[in-house]
Amino acid sequence: MGALMGAKWGQWVKGLVRATVGGAVLGGLVFGGWWQWRNRDVSPAEFHLRGKFGPVVAWPIIPIQVAVLSDGRILAYGSDSLGRQGANEVFDVWDPSKGTGLDAHLVLPNGTGTDIFCNGQIIIPSTGQVLLVGGDRTVNGVRNWSSPDINFYDIKTGTMKSAGRTMERPRWYPTVMTLANGEVLILGGRLDLEHYAPIPEIYNPQTGWRTLPGADKAELFGAQNWNYPRAWQTPRGDIFSLNRLGDMYSVKVDGEGGFTKLPHKVFRGHSYLPSLMYAPGKILSMRLGGITYNIDINQPEPVIQRAAWSVPARFNATATVMADGKVYVSGGSLRNDDNGTGILSNRLSEIWDPAIDKWQPGAVAAKARLYHSVALLMQDGTVLTGAGGAGAKNADDNLDAEIYYPPYLFKADGSGQFASRPAITAVPDFIYWDKAFPVKTSAPVGRFTLIKMGSATHSQVYDQRFIELGFKQNGDTYEVSAPINPLVAPPGYYFLFAVDLQGVPSVAKIIRLDTAAS
């Protein structure tokens, strides 16, 4: 009897194993087939729905960090000319108006003595210079120590130069952001191989640097949240911080600083999952498992809603707000250390429409864009995507880029042809908060949109936000309303798009929002 029961038990176990293994294999085949199907090429008949990628184009370096300059060119750096980790030798300035050939690039020497690999970078609103904070150091032959150096890229001279001083703390992987008063806030980063830099610093172009010792907390910008921490200024002036554990904080930036932990929590995230402010006071945050939140910080207490479910995860993807206010997500993988060769790499891009809280498939890239990849909205309404690699554990070294052409650039008839675009024929170079300004266009316009010019690296785009502008038509001139105050739209350089009645945007005009316009 015991032997019979043992035999039956053995058969049951074997059957269970076969069923489990078979189910896993079948599930894997189904998943693999679905994943390959969703990464299929897009036909011209779908361009007006999904957009398309241009060809892969060579880049002189791996553009791990990119920023739109005040004249529309793109500053890029992150590797040497062979694609190796380290940015102490050269950097690149690309002029999109000259095309995508290597003759449109200007490769320049980095004479600062700083390896600006994985630092933080942002445009100074009052000068148009790019502030570069921190970077990488090699100590006794070991890389990835932190640098305290401060450098500037001067757009007028085309040179990178030292600020002549250092920060209070060395920083590697810091976040930088523009405040409503024109100062620049620096958050997080690593001090060395084992310690972190939780005390924020602030740069004022007129008075220099100061620290915020009252905001010193590991959960804010230290051991729990040091890697390019996510933070945004609220309409009340404090800083809303969302860490990778799902905790939320309010941070004071006046005086010596301070913080308050908020009684709210969302699902756990990751340093390489994107979060962005897609509209004034509204944040889209992608978390683990494809869970996505829409967080409204316009009120003293954040209002948190579950947004539409995305793919299971997009580690190392980048989220970019586009000319029409939709959010474009490109690159990444289901696994943080995917090497780009298997089915886990996510070459399919996606578009989130905040008006209806819905994701739709975008175009499919030719190459996997994983760790150290970037995406950035450009002046013509396209999105630059590229890079990946340069010291990354399992990502290919990509000395190249692909330009994404969003659906709004195509005719809606399914022909796959580009649509005719309106043009802005006259606009001021400067605008000021809460004041109307005149704009002339070549065709009737249904919308004016304003987008802060971005600076991208490591799954985030510093400072980006989208603002819908009100307007009134007066003959052939539109009186367009500027943002109400700098807490809605910080000072700096913006893309102004005119969108025609068919939803096609113009090439943007670059305007500066600042007190210089008053």
User: Could you give the CA distance from residue 47 to residue 202 in angstroms, rounded to a whole number?
Assistant: 44
* CA proximity to 216, closest of 204, 205, 226: 226
Read off the amino acid at residue 496. L
Give yes or no for a contact between 94 and 74, defined as CB atoms under 8 angstroms apart: yes
User: Could you give the CA distance from residue 237 to residue 517 in angstroms, rounded to a whole number?
Assistant: 22
Sign of CA dihedral 263, 269, 271, 276: negative
Give yes or no for a contact between 228 and 244, defined as CB atoms under 8 angstroms apart: no
pLDDT tier at 346, thresholds 50, 70, 90: confident
* pLDDT score at 186: 97
Average pLDDT over residues 192-207: 93
The owner of tokens 């864009």 is 369
* pLDDT score at 40: 66
Identify the burial level of 14 via C-beta atoms within 10 angstroms of its C-beta, where 0-12 means exposed, 13-18 middle and 19 or more buried: exposed
Longest dimension (CA), the chain: 98
Q: Could you read off the pLDDT of 175-186 as tens digits, one per residue? A: 999 999 999 999
User: CA dihedral in degrees (368, 47, 325, 444; nearest 10)?
Assistant: 150
3-state DSSP helix/strand/coil % of the chain, to nearest 5:
15, 40, 45
Query: Which residues are paired to 53 by β-bridges?
Result: 404
Q: If you average pLDDT over every residue of the chain, what do you get?
A: 90
pLDDT tier at 499, thresholds 50, 70, 90: very high
Phi and psi at 99, nearest 5°, equal 95, -165
User: Could you give the CA distance from residue 349 to residue 449 in angstroms, rounded to a whole number?
Assistant: 23
In this predicted structure, the answer to whether residue 207 has a pLDDT above a threshold of 60 is yes
* CA proximity to 422, closest of 475, 326, 501: 501
pTM score of the predicted model: 0.91
* pLDDT score at 19: 39
User: Could you give the CA distance from residue 131 to residue 121 in angstroms, rounded to a whole number?
Assistant: 5
Q: How far is CA 167 from CA 115, 136, 198, 259, in A?
A: 15, 14, 13, 22
Q: Could you read off the pLDDT of 274-319 as tens digits, one per residue? A: 999 999 999 999 999 999 999 999 998 999 999 998 877 789 999 9
User: Could you give the CA distance from residue 38 to residue 21 in angstroms, rounded to a whole number?
Assistant: 25
Query: Which residues are paired to 512 by β-bridges?
Result: 430, 493
Give yes or no for a contact between 327 and 278, defined as CB atoms under 8 angstroms apart: yes
Give yes or no for a contact between 76 and 95, defined as CB atoms under 8 angstroms apart: no
Give yes or no for a contact between 318 and 503, defined as CB atoms under 8 angstroms apart: no
pLDDT tier at 497, thresholds 50, 70, 90: very high
User: Could you give the CA distance from residue 486 to residue 471 in angstroms, rounded to a whole number?
Assistant: 19
Give the 3-state secondary structure of 377-431. Answer: ECCCCCEEEEECCCCCCCCCCCCEEEEEECHHHECCCCCCCECCCCCEEECCCEE
Q: Could you read off the pLDDT of 229-277 as tens digits, one per residue? A: 999 999 999 999 999 999 999 999 999 999 999 999 999 999 999 999 9
* pLDDT score at 22: 43
Give yes or no for a contact between 220 and 198, defined as CB atoms under 8 angstroms apart: yes
Query: Which residues are paired to 294 by β-bridges?
Result: 284, 305
Q: Is 5 helix (H, G, I), strand (E, B) or coil?
A: helix
* pLDDT score at 201: 97
Please tell me what DSSP assigns to residue 499. E
* pLDDT score at 18: 43
Q: Is 70 helix (H, G, I), strand (E, B) or coil?
A: coil
Q: How far is CA 68 from CA 129, 458, 516, in A?
A: 11, 16, 21
First to last CA, the chain: 96
* pLDDT score at 35: 53
- What domains can you pick out in the chain, each with its CATH number? 51-409 (2.130.10.80), 424-517 (2.60.40.10)
Token pair listed for 182: 């024109």
Average pLDDT over residues 120-146: 94
In this predicted structure, the answer to whether residue 36 has a pLDDT above a threshold of 80 is no
The number of C-alpha atoms within 13 Å of 305 and in the hemisphere containing its C-beta is 10
Read off the amino acid at residue 205. P
Determine how many CB atoms are found less than 10 A away from the CB of residue 256: 12
* pLDDT score at 219: 85
User: Could you give the CA distance from residue 504 to residue 107 in angstroms, rounded to a whole number?
Assistant: 34
Phi and psi at 404, nearest 5°, equal -95, 130
Please tell me what DSSP assigns to residue 246. S
Read off the amino acid at residue 61. I
Share of the chain above pLDDT 90, in %: 81
Average pLDDT over residues 94-117: 96
